[in-house]
Amino acid sequence: MSDSGEYAPSDNSIPDKLTSKTSFLSLKLYIVIGILLLCAVSVFVAIFLFIRLKKNSRNRIVKMRVKHSSGLIPLVSKEIVEIKALDRNVNSVKAEDKIGNKDFKEPEEIKIEIDEIVKGGKGGGGGEKSGGSDASGGSRSDVSVEAENIGWGRWYTLKELEVATRGFAEDNIIGEGGYGVVYRGVVNDGSVVAVKNLLNNKGQAEKEFKVEVEAIGKVRHKNLVGLVGYCAEGAQRMLVYEYVDNGNLEQWLHGDVGPVSPLTWDIRMKIAIGTAKGLAYLHEGLEPKVVHRDVKSSNILLDRKWIPKVSDFGLAKLLGSEASYVTTRVMGTFGYVSPEYASTGMLNEGSDVYSFGILLMEIITGRSPIDYSRPAGEMNLVDWFKGMVASRRGEELVDPLIEVQPSPRALKRALLICLRCIDLDANKRPKMGQIVHMLEADDFPFRSELRSAREKDPHPSRADNVSAKITYPSKNGGDGDRWR
Ligand SMILES: Nc1ncnc2c1ncn2[C@@H]1O[C@H](COP(=O)(O)OP(=O)(O)OP(=O)(O)O)[C@@H](O)[C@H]1O
């Protein structure tokens, strides 16, 4: 204020100060303040983002840990690739056989029968009807309805499964596959189950759910993971399986198991035989037959006695007994899919046989079907395997983590079975039932040895003659015991 009482701005008024130049690059004060404010905001945003990112990654790690909560089951990273393209280019098949060895068959022309009729989902819809629930998309909204016995298993209420999994707690997550999260649960009769909470989209997951429930519900076999029930309420679709408590084969083959694998040669062959029996039952013991379509090591669950149980029938489709069919969408896992299925979508049990051949190679070698971390010539298991057999280096194929080597004849037999399974001509591949016998025949002496034994002993024991006796199952509509 001036003496006269009038307002006279002093030299040091705030606006003047703001517009005065500072020593910092001769910028005016308000600009410097602006820059400082901007810096402070940026730092704040950066810190906020950093904290959020850290929290997310911690969550992910926690989830990874609970995946295999027993701690005894080795962890592996998985690469699941769904092949969607219906690539009809047979060149990809020709490229398959690159080694040019005369011992191996030249790829043959693949005839695409476009007129083949798609025959999926022919199960008759018995499963959910007998339970009085509507698994086909119509919702079973009455949560209070008691769980029902549906002949082959049970219809579970959502509430029951919520209780069983303690509210679908993260701690109970066993793992996550392409079709949803799998939880460990204890249902009210005290039994432990695996609850597969299917993704809730209206498309594939629901379709697969119907297929699984209708086709697989009644299938019972020692080497197949049993479906013990399901839940269909509102948009929720869940499958309840028997719980298999020793992880899956992929984890034991490719996880960190130390310098010596607990999977000895004999255990590996036992796993291969059990898996083959499970698949043989699907192909040859059921009418209509079931093609698995996604045979791979992560779908082979193991119990504490190393008994294998083939899981994940989400991709299975029912087939008419004589028919093969063309699907509009090729599904399966990269590295295991047969060339004809990948290139034409033609599907029959021969595709499973091919995948089983790859699985057997994986069991023998301990190597993944595709492994980009290996040298160029070894990335593709099939190519490397064929090359090694062709150059008579079969012994080098055996997983170095196997301590006690197999006998040369046991190894030779297993290698030959692999090669027969991946024959490019699907018609020449053996049936799963034959593979069971070929693998089991390894327990018995070869003919030449039998002959020399007979010469020594004219009255051989019964066991010596078993190898000559090969019986095949009749299609009797589901006698699982035949294959046990
Ligand atoms: N019945 C079961 N008992 C114990 N563990 C199971 C059972 N079913 C699945 N799992 C485990 O849950 C995890 C997810 O299985 P899921 O079958 O959903 O997917 P995946 O086989 O890993 O992949 P994909 O969906 O491509 O087949 C795997 O680690 C599997 O071993």
Q: Quote the tokens at residue 185.
A: 């649960």
Element (H, E) at 35: helix 29-67
Residue pair 340/426 in contact by the 8 Å Cβ criterion:
yes
* pLDDT at residue 112 greater than cutoff 70: no
Q: What is the distance in A from the centroid of ligand 1 to the CA of 299?
A: 7
DSSP state for residue 298 in the 8-state scheme: G
Tokens 């049970």, residue? 154
Binned at pLDDT 50, 70 and 90, residue 376 comes out as very high
Q: Does the beta carbon of 248 lie inside 6 Å of ligand 1?
A: yes
Tell me the ipTM for this assembly: 0.98
Segment 24-37, tens digit of pLDDT: 777 788 888 888 88
Segment 158-167, tens digit of pLDDT: 999 999 999 9
Q: Is 189 a catalytic residue?
A: no
Do β-strands 173-177 and 290-291 pair in parallel, antiparallel, or remain unpaired? unpaired
Taking each helix axis from N to C end, the angle separating 432-440 and 408-421, rounded to the nearest 10 degrees, works out to 170
- Give me the pLDDT at residue 127, please: 30
Identity of the highest mean pLDDT range in 35-49, 310-324, 435-449: 35-49
Q: Does the beta carbon of 223 lie inside 6 Å of ligand 1?
A: no
Binned at pLDDT 50, 70 and 90, residue 113 comes out as very low
- Give me the pLDDT at residue 477, please: 33
What residue owns the CA closest to ligand 1's atom 19?
177
Strand locations in 267-316 (E): 290-291, 300-302, 308-310
Residue 312 is labelled as binding a ligand: yes
Residue 299 is labelled as binding a ligand: yes
Binned at pLDDT 50, 70 and 90, residue 16 comes out as confident
Q: Could you tell me the domains of the chain?
A: 1-51 (no CATH), 105-242 (3.30.200.20), 254-470 (1.10.510.10)
User: Which of these is catalytic: 87, 171, 256, 294?
Assistant: 294
What residue owns the CA closest to ligand 1's atom 5?
244
Provide mean pLDDT across the span 436-442. Answer: 89
Average pLDDT taken over every residue of the chain: 72
Calpha distance 320→313 (Å, rounded): 17
Q: Which of 117, 113, 112 is nearest to 320 (CA)?
A: 117
Provide mean pLDDT across the span 203-220. Answer: 67
The percent of residues in the chain predicted with pLDDT above 70, rounded, is 61
What residue owns the CA closest to ligand 1's atom 27?
177
Atom of ligand 1 nearest to the CA of 174: 12
Tokens 């303040």, residue? 33
* pLDDT at residue 389 greater than cutoff 90: yes
Output Rg (C-alpha) for the chain, integer angstroms.
31
Residue 246 is labelled as binding a ligand: no
